[in-house]
Amino acid sequence: MCRKPALLATVLTPILLLSVPALAADKGDKAGKIAASAPVAAQPAAQSAAQRKAGAAERAEAARMDPLARAAFWSAEFEADPRDPEAGVGLSQALRALGRYDDAASASGRVLVSHPNNVEALLESARVQLARGEGFFAIEPARTAAAAAPKDWRPQSLLGVALEQSKRDDEALVAHRQAVALAPNEAAPAANLAMYLAGHGDLAGAETLLRKAVAMPSSTVQVRQNLALIVGLQGRVDEAERMARQDLPPQMVDNNLAWLRAALGQGSATRTWGAIKAGG
């Protein structure tokens, strides 16, 4: 395998895993303590728990909070009603964004105890395993979610990433292609398939797919920055720089370009792209 695909195997991050950028470590520790230490109080009656829960408008607002605030919000909601799947999944997502993977896995796992076929909890369980590099353990929840929601592209795309991490490349490619077939106008599955192709040496094919993904309404900063990366790794650094500066602050672009030039053999890469790129 040539050097570029080998590098890509370590620097490309699946789109689905970075829906929210992680905060600084000190904030993550604080949020983890807030969420992980919150006791699950016994409720005198279901009606009492329901009265304490936030309404739909408040929950919609919580989705726009930073991960630290979301962790605190959903921890309180889950404490008020431990059988509320939305609260458990919301807490797991927030903790995952903060890098609190064990606590995130615990939250989604608690949902699955009472709601074993809840698709969102299954997906979140798979995402947590993928985020900590344990793709093998993401296969089962992703497959269960795919069986429960056969027309949903998300389980197939997650399954593709899980199979990649498990070094089952042929199966991974099938899953990625199935995800794209289910949602041909969604950017994330196309981008995840593109990353698979790039990691296996097909940079041109990856660029073609990413350009299509970038043009889709659901495209994100991460999709655009992955396109910039693929363009740069083909030696078109100036073009990659123009793309990167559309979304990122100057210092971050400079750091990314320094890494890219090192990856192309113009120096020694001491930091991975994954450590300095923006989350989508």
Which tens digits make up the pLDDT trace of 69-123? 999 999 999 999 999 999 999 999 999 999 999 999 999 999 999 999 999 999 9
**Residue 265: per-residue pLDDT:** 83
pLDDT of residue 52: 74
pLDDT of 44: 44
Q: CB under 8 Å to 242, separation ≥6 — which residues?
A: none
Boundaries of every domain in the chain = 14-38+62-182
Q: How confident is the model at residue 263 (pLDDT cuts 50, 70, 90)?
A: confident
Integer Cα distance of 247 and 265 in angstroms: 26
Kindly state the DSSP code that residue 279 receives in the 8-state scheme: P
Give the pLDDT mean for 257-269.
Answer: 77
What are the CA-CA distances from residue 266 to residues 49, 108, 114, 258 (Å)?
Answer: 61, 44, 55, 9
So what's the pLDDT on residue 20? 34
Q: Per CATH, is 14-38+62-182 categorized as 1.25.40.10?
A: yes
pLDDT for 128 equals 98
Residue 15 has pLDDT above 90, yes or no: no
54 pLDDT higher than 70: yes
pLDDT one-digit tens code per residue, 129-177: 999 999 999 999 999 999 999 999 999 999 999 999 999 999 999 999 9
On the question of pLDDT at 210 being above 70, the answer is: yes
